[in-house]
Amino acid sequence: MNIKNNIPNKKGFFGEYGGQFVPEGLKIAMNNLTKDYLKIKKDKTFKKEFVELMNNYVGRPSALYFARNLSKKYGCKIYFKREDLNHTGAHKINNTIGQALLAKRIGIKKIIAETGAGQHGVATATAAALMGLECEIFMGEIDAKKQMMNIYRMQLLGAKVNVVKKGGRTLKDAVDAALEYYMHHPEVFYLLGSVVGPHPYPMMVRDFQSIIGKEAKKQIKKQEGRLPDYLVACVGGGSNAIGLFYDFIPNKQVKLIGVEPAGKGLKTGKHAATMTLGKPGVLHGFYSYLLQDKDGNPLPVYSIASGLDYPGVGPEQSFLKDIKRAEFKHVTDAEALAAFHETSRIEGIIPALETSHALAYSFKLAKKLRKDQIIIVNFSGRGDKDVEFVASLH
């Protein structure tokens, strides 16, 4: 394992985590995808088209914004990496454009995807519309009820949306349904939305999302003349977090903090605090930290933020935890909601509920820091999708 580059080995393992725990037929498909990806990602025309779309379609580079009002209140320098300003309103578009370009280059005509909060579904439907590809999305029923507007957006963009009514009816069950469809329709391209699943997905999604950290590093050096003291990002599957963290991994003076959903409290069982309470196990074709029962089955999970209600986490995050390169904290629904309202009122930016978890922890952290210390929060998505749901809570 080359820790400096933090790439998986040829079998897709980050240390002991990752791999391909899938049926033989699916393993063949994954190995073919790995070969195609490793070859195509080096192609100059592919890279040129990806960069052009990032700049002129997605709107990159996204801003690194100094949150002056919150910084003044909490007593240190707080910056937002504004992924919410991307086309479709979240970091998800970075990965969907990359994978849709790959699918088109391979010659595949249809893509499928899972979604939790709906942001990956919208971004996938957007990329499919742009590339002229057929698109089908799987979404858990509980998440679908929270995010009706995102379902309409997906349909407006030409995607078919399948509401999953089995199991816990959240993100894990949407992934189950998408994988089941994929096994019976190997001719489609499964556009996975996070750094989870069998190899090469954790590597591939990370590569497309690493643009976040590459930009942030250049921007903070320009604005402050040095690297930050802390990077903070919410963690469900972990793509927005590893996207911010990846380019900073060699910079040991920069502390990496992932923030998980403690939901209604760790003792209630209504949470998705995988790194806090989970143990290594297998889920959706990869080995990583997992909330599981004594038989190794995934436990039901909960979060007020639909994009975080997943019982596992990306294998690279698990590796970073074990080597003590990243820390993982947790935030309750109530704390996230307070940060949602506070950021909206004080900074004039409405955050996604997922992002609000990272913000809530950052505010607690900021109180302990000196005024010259720097936190960069990955502002992973905007809160348009959550406003109606939050309003219904009052």
Instruction: List the one residue out of 364, 333, 354 whose CA is nearest residue 194.
Output: 354
Active site residue 62: no
Residue 291 in contact with residue 281, Cβ under 8 Å?
no
Active site residue 114: yes
- Per annotation, catalytic residue among 288, 356, 362, 380: 380
- Per annotation, catalytic residue among 92, 104, 146, 217: 92
Residue 285 in contact with residue 268, Cβ under 8 Å?
no
**DSSP code string of 309-360:** --SB--HHHHHHHHTTSEEEEEEEHHHHHHHHHHHHHHHS--B-HHHHHHHH
Angle (CA) 237-27-313 rounded to 5° is 10
User: Tell me, what DSSP letter sits at residue 62?
Assistant: P
Task: Tell me the C-alpha distance between 155 and 137, whole Å.
Answer: 10
- Per annotation, catalytic residue among 114, 136, 316, 347: 114
Task: Tell me the C-alpha distance between 334 and 338, whole Å.
Answer: 6
Active site residue 72: no
**Chain centre to alpha carbon of residue 35:** 24
E strand or H helix at 66: strand 64-66
The residues annotated with a catalytic role in the active site are 92, 114, 380
